[in-house]
Amino acid sequence: MRLFEAMIDANHRAVAGDPSAGLRPADFASELPIVALTCLDVRLNPLLPEVLGVPEDQFIWLRNAGNIITDPLGSTVRSLALACAVEGGQGIAIIGHTDCPMGQTTALALLDQFRSLGVERHQLPPNLNEFFGLFGSERANVIKAADIVRQSPLIGPKIPVHGLLVDIETGQVDWLVNGYQTLDSAAPRPSPALADPGQPLDALKPLANLEIGGLKFPEEKIGETLVQAGDWLAAKVQEWEAKLTPPEAPAPPAAAAPVVSATYEAWRREKERLQRAAPPKIPPPPPIPPKLRFHKKAR
């Protein structure tokens, strides 16, 4: 039994009235300390970390309004990551609680509350629900926050991320997100047939004489079969290439060049003859001198 499994079991037995219920943290030293994000509701002060059965010195406690996480690279996730990397946290728990005021607050009510504090609407972000992470279900909020933390690149894959919900009246803890399941599903599992690296081919020996529907597999060696298949494929490729290669265009006959030259030569001679036979150009007439005008002198 792992730490959170024993923790939930002890909590449920204690809530049911079992006087012997309890947790021995020394048995789970390798899974401590725990990094937990909880709501800042003051009613949680007498409950945590007692309802988890973990001593305070093994409990790294982070708090914000509504234990809300909206960004896998935000400041809250950054603190969770540093608590694991620097403080040695071995597991993360997102702990919500019932009757959370953040889950009962609407955007309009939040505007009125800010206005009473002197903060007007234009001073707040456009999307209040997204910025403040308002939610309507405590359970859904815990599940969403645990998923964001699990998907964050700041949190190593070896750190389990759990989601818990505390009943504010009874102190019972419900396990909403089992972080162990994510680690178990992500762990690679070797094939049973190849579990022994010393004899990887022995597991394939029974297939040599396997018969299906009265047909027996051939006993040729794998290498020989592959070589034969490769030779056959190469021959087929050559055959297909020969069929698909277009025939080369025939070269022009040798007499084509002289014919073209003779035609051009005849055209050139005809052009020269026409130029010689052309009449000379007539020069333009000389310009006509301007008329002289005489004016009688006045007497």
pLDDT score at 130 = 87
Three-state SS annotation for the chain: CCHHHHHHHHHHHHHCCCCCCCCCHHHHHHHCCEEEEEECCHHHCCCCCHHHCCCHHHEEEEEEHHHCCCCCCCHHHHHHHHHHHCCCCCEEEEEEECCCHHHHCCHHHHHHHHHHCCCCHHHCCCCHHHHHCCCCCHHHHHHHHHHHHHHCCCCCCCCCEEEEEECCCCCCEEEEECHHHHHHHHCCCCCHHHCCCCCCCHHHHHHCCCEECCEECCCCCHHHHHHHHHHHHHHHHHHHHHHHCCCCCCCCCCCHHHHHHHHHHHHHHHHHHHHHHCCCCCCCCCCCCCCCCCCCCCC
Length of the chain: 299
The rounded distance, in Å, linking the Cα atoms of 92 and 17 is 28
pLDDT score at 269 = 80
Residue whose entry in the numeric block shows the structure tokens 């093994």: 58
Tokens linked to 218? 């051939």
Tokens linked to 78? 């950054």
Q: Tell me whether residue 254 is exposed, middle or buried, using C-beta atoms within 10 angstroms of its C-beta: 0 to 12, 13 to 18, 19 or more.
A: exposed
pLDDT above 60 for 194: no
pLDDT above 50 for 116: yes
Position 163: which residue type?
G
Average pLDDT, the chain: 81
Of 175-179, 182-186, 191-195, the one with minimum mean pLDDT is 191-195
Report the interhelical angle of 3-15 vs 179-186 (nearest 10°).
150
pLDDT class for 245, splitting at 50, 70, 90?
Answer: low
pLDDT score at 293 = 57
Position 250: which residue type?
P
- The Cα-based distances of 224 to 185, 207, 221, 229 in angstroms read 41, 18, 5, 9
Q: In this structure, are residues 76 and 69 in contact, taking their beta carbons and an 8 Å threshold?
A: yes
Calculate mean pLDDT across residues 229-242. Answer: 68
Position 283: which residue type?
P
Domain boundaries, the chain: 3-185
Within 8 A by CB and 6+ apart from 96, the residues are 38, 39, 66, 67, 138, 139, 141, 142, 145, 163, 164, 165, 166
This prediction has a pTM of 0.62
- Cα 2 to chain centroid, rounded: 31
Q: In this structure, are residues 69 and 148 in contact, taking their beta carbons and an 8 Å threshold?
A: yes
pLDDT digits (tens, 9 = 90+) for 141-182: 999 999 999 999 999 999 999 999 999 999 999 999 999 998
pLDDT class for 22, splitting at 50, 70, 90?
Answer: confident
Of 139-153, 209-223, 238-252, the one with minimum mean pLDDT is 209-223
Higher pLDDT, 190 or 65: 65
- The CATH number that domain 3-185 falls under is 3.40.1050.10
Tokens linked to 93? 């728990």
